[in-house]
A and B are shown apart, each in its own frame.
Chain A
Amino acid sequence: MITEVARPGFWTLLGERTKAELRIFFREKDSLIFVFLFPTMFLLIFAALMGGIDVTEGMDAPVVVNFKQYFLPGMVATGIIYTGFQNLAISIPVERDQGVLKRLRGTPLPSSVYFSAKVIQVYAVSVLQLGLLLLVARLALGIPLPTDLDSWFTFGWVFLLGAATCTALGIAFSAVPRTGKSASAVTVPVVLILQFLSGIYFPFNQVPDWVQTFSGVFPLRWMAQAMRSVFLPDFMVAQEPGETWALGTGAIVMGVWLVGGLALAFRFFRWQSHKDG
């Protein structure tokens, strides 16, 4: 064959692969319920259970902040860690166990396209997920959303950086579960413990000092704290450690985990399962 054939370009392949990734994500009940809808469901449940509590009680506060408003930034951070980290850390081992990755590896699909499509999947799903979460928060629960540009700018970069960090770590962590079946059991507790340490489920100032310090090693704490700066009134900074939102420190910690996650992902990513040599 002498005829020069037209090889599909990077963007064509990326479009194809992204379409497939999104179809797969939204057709799997597990990922739809336990990743996509979970933060919204949790917000509704917590609002129903603890909606009567004001976190500003005993404070000299200009406005009252209800627990459900305090809970919202935690659920935003949860959405990002679920879609970036938990989703990939579970679905990649399952795909590896089922031979999907091995099959793709045997085709001309460049691995750069495979990983880029995963990143786009995370961002596309997160945008829809957080959109739904904020819509429900505003319309169903009457939680006030920020009206100033500054807050939304912070929301934007924390979301972009946080999702990148979670995606890199999710891909890196996918090397840990030995089988697809064990992937949820290995991943979910890690996320759950991080959530408790990072003050997602209750006000962070009620967490012991050493836990505040310890959780500062991990990116989720800083992502949640930065999101609180977006969704809580400014005076609430008084409840934060050191009475600062610590956006700079947060950016550094997330950035370090992003670089570390990428390095680990490159080093340890596996296309084939252990039993498959």
Chain B
Amino acid sequence: MPVTENVVTIKGLRKEYGHKAAVEDLDLDIHAGECFALLGPNGAGKTTTVEILEGYRHRTAGEVSVLGHDPHHATREWRERIGIVLQSSADETPLTAREYVSHIGSFFPAPRDTDEVLDAVGLTAIANRQGKTMSGGERRRLDVALGIVGRPELLFLDEPTTGFDPEARRSFWRLIESLKGSGTTILLTTHYLEEAEYLADRVGVITHGRLVALDTPVGLRTEVEGAIVEWRQGGKKREKATTTPTALIRELAAKHANGDGEVPDLEVRRPTLEDRYLQLVDDSNGEGES
């Protein structure tokens, strides 16, 4: 098969439900071997976009290519090359984790070893428990196991760590890193900014069905100039983004000159990815109402 530089190519993608556009004029390329994170508030069009790429939904307009194929015409050969971890996980299967992983693996030409997969997602100890007796987090790890057992070239992860405790999330991140290390291209959607920051090579922010930012996590963060200044006023936490933090602090200091001269809980920090993200979402909400 030809080596494609871009595993996913999207040009002018549009999806309408009734007369409402859920995705509008979306352009995006995902490179081979990268982990790409798609961020955005609920209802922004993340899952719609991802499910079009997975072949579950049909687009209204635009061009889409995934591993050189149009997902609208999904073939068995194409499905053998992708792995999907869907957003919701309500599968109350009476199959055990081991049975289920081995079962789904049997559909693929060169599946991963069942025990290796169970080990990778940390389910070895409960490999003989039925899916329906598992906790939400355990079931989510089973979802991931079922998504990777076919040895996919491209892995879709739709909010994979929702409901994980911090420790489980860390170990999940290590799993994704090792998959990346083995050359798997990953498309991740997530609500957790620190997850995108930790895992993603590039981040796309989508609001109201449009891509409003596309950069590396570091690049996105440094797009915000200046700093965030935080302090307490009248018992309430205040926060202000400014390009002139020193001037703001001088102003605050002047206001507090009567007491002991200290601004309560003063903090000056560089904006995080989350700050930049929230700014992007706020901006687009302003436009969206017009």
Contacts and interface: CB of A to CB of B under 8 A. Distances in A.
B257 interface: no
A100 interface: yes
A209 to B, nearest CB: 47
B110 interface: yes
Q: Is the interface of B mostly helix, strand, loop or mixed?
A: loop
Contacts of B57: 277
Given A16-B103, A24-B95, A108 B56 contact: no
A270 interface: no
B92 interface: yes
Contacts, number: 74
Contacts of B128: none
Given A100-B93, A277-B57, A106 B79 contact: yes
A13 B79 CA distance: 15
Contact of B150 (A6, A102, A103, A107): A107
A110 interface: yes
B107 A109 contact: yes
Nearest to B146: A103
A79 to B, nearest CB: 22
B130 interface: yes
Central interface residue in A1, A5, A108, by most chain B CB within 10 Å: A108
B76 interface: yes
B62 interface: no
Given A99-B86, A99-B89, A108-B107, A27 B76 contact: no
Given A28-B94, A102-B56, A277-B17, A16 B79 contact: no
A7 interface: yes
B112 to A, nearest CB: 14
A97 B99 CA distance: 21
Contact of A8 (B1, B86, B99, B106): B106
B60 to A, nearest CB: 13
Contacts of B84: 103, 106
Nearest to B84: A106
A20 B76 contact: no
A109 B105 CA distance: 10
A274 interface: no
Contacts of A8: 106-109
B213 interface: no
A272 B56 contact: yes
Given A16-B107, A98-B92, 8 more contacts: A5-B110, A12-B106, A27-B95, A28-B94, A100-B93, A102-B56, A107-B104, A108-B80
B88 interface: yes
A107 B130 contact: no
Contact of A97 (B54, B77, B90, B146): B90
A138 interface: no
Interface size bucket, B side? 20 to 34
B223 interface: no
A182 to B, nearest CB: 15
9 contacts: A6-B109, A7-B76, A19-B103, A20-B103, A98-B92, A99-B88, A103-B86, A103-B146, A107-B150
B285 to A, nearest CB: 24
A23 B56 contact: no
Given A103-B146, A108-B76, A277-B17, A16 B106 contact: yes
Interface in A22-57: 23-24, 27-28
Contact of A99 (B91, B99, B104): B91
Given A100-B93, A103-B146, A107-B150, A23 B106 contact: no
Those 7 A-B pairs whose CB atoms lie nearest each other, nearest first: A27-B94, A5-B109, A106-B84, A108-B79, A16-B106, A98-B90, A108-B76
Nearest to A6: B109
Contact of A107 (B91, B94, B107): B107
Contacts of B55: 106
A28 B55 CA distance: 31
Contact of A20 (B80, B86, B99): B99
Given A12-B106, A13-B106, A102 B86 contact: yes
Contacts of A23: 94-95, 99
Contact of B107 (A13, A19, A98): A13
